[in-house]
Amino acid sequence: MLARVRRTIEERALLGRGARVVVACSGGPDSAALLHVLGRLDGLDLRLSAASVDHGLREGSAADVAVARALAERLEVPFAALAVDVGAGASVQAQARAARYEALRAHARDVGAHAIAVGHTLDDQAETVLSRLLRGAAVSGLSGIAPARADGVVRPLIDCRREAVRAHVARFDLPHVADPSNADRRFERVRLREALLPALAEEDPNVAIHLAALADEAREIASWLDAEVTERLGDLAGRTEITLGGAPPIRAQMLKRWLERLIGRPAKRAHLEALRRDGEVLLPDGWIVRREGSTLRAVRSLARPTRSRRREE
């Protein structure tokens, strides 16, 4: 497993030699293996510290932090316990994730860290891609979990199978806890993990590997497409008119980016399809977009129509 993680770090350019890294430790087996492996990578001279975030969402969460602290002390790695307040929202998990990353970023700034390492595995990647596929994601959505993010978050275990990670934890008897939410079938990820992916694996045992490879290919395509669209569109600030050009994927991405800048929120698939099909479409906040050939013009209406409508020929 050490060789696989070293290869991932080098091939994906996740960490430079001598990097100062905060390792996010939940107390679970994946983060336990991550901290242990990063500390055993000779030659990289990584300067590690560990941090555990207590969301306070369930009884016993403080005990998870204590387990993470015990592992850090055993490995002689500096440790920080961070606490967050999870705000109200439609998704408690989403709110907790946002609060967790904000706390980790703040801690990384405080200790002068170059990166924040988290323990997502290849199987996590496969579950993410499958979830987005079921929801009709575009190519950018199928890129899944980024091995490295612009905010310094890196995922050195992203090419490791979950079973290899758990075997590493068992081999070195690393202290860890089991998150009960990982067995709660109310969560989609648990249902994918326990039912759908095993069914697909009966058809092809390498289905998780294939889904992870799809994520890498989709990410490369999305990156290329993003660069092409950036060059064609330039600065979109205040622009209420664009002319689409290029191959269909480029045109579609130009439309999507312009629309999102215009309305200030993610574009819905229904709006994008309507704009490609109809002559006039109502958008959020009173925006109306009219299409003439490849040119789209947006105006804001005070008397907001009640529905999108097709322009009369």
CA-nearest of 82, 65, 29, 71 to 48 is 71
d(CA 6, CA 43): 10
Residue 88's pLDDT is what?
63
Q: Which residues lie closer than 8 Å to 163 by C-beta, 6 or more apart? A: none
Beta strands at 79-83 and 115-117: parallel, antiparallel or unpaired = unpaired
Distance, CA of 16 to CA of 10 (rounded, Å): 8
Average pLDDT of the segment spanning 39-56? 92
Domain boundaries, the chain: 2-212, 234-313
Work out the angle at residue 24's Cα, subtended by the Cα atoms of residues 100 and 53, and round it to the nearest 5 degrees. 40
pLDDT digits (tens, 9 = 90+) for 3-31: 999 999 999 999 999 999 999 999 999 99
Number of other CB atoms surrounding residue 38 within 10 Å = 24
Tell me the C-alpha distance between 252 and 250, whole Å: 5
pLDDT exceeds cutoff 70 at 299: yes
pTM tops 0.95, yes or no: no
Domain 234-313 has CATH 1.20.59: yes
- pLDDT-based confidence at residue 73 (cuts at 50, 70, 90): very high
Burial-class residue 213 by CB neighbours within 10 Å (0-12, 13-18, 19+): middle
Label residue 90 by pLDDT band (50, 70, 90): low
List the structure tokens of 232.
Answer: 């064609």
The CATH-assigned architecture of domain 2-212 is 3-Layer(aba) Sandwich (3.40)
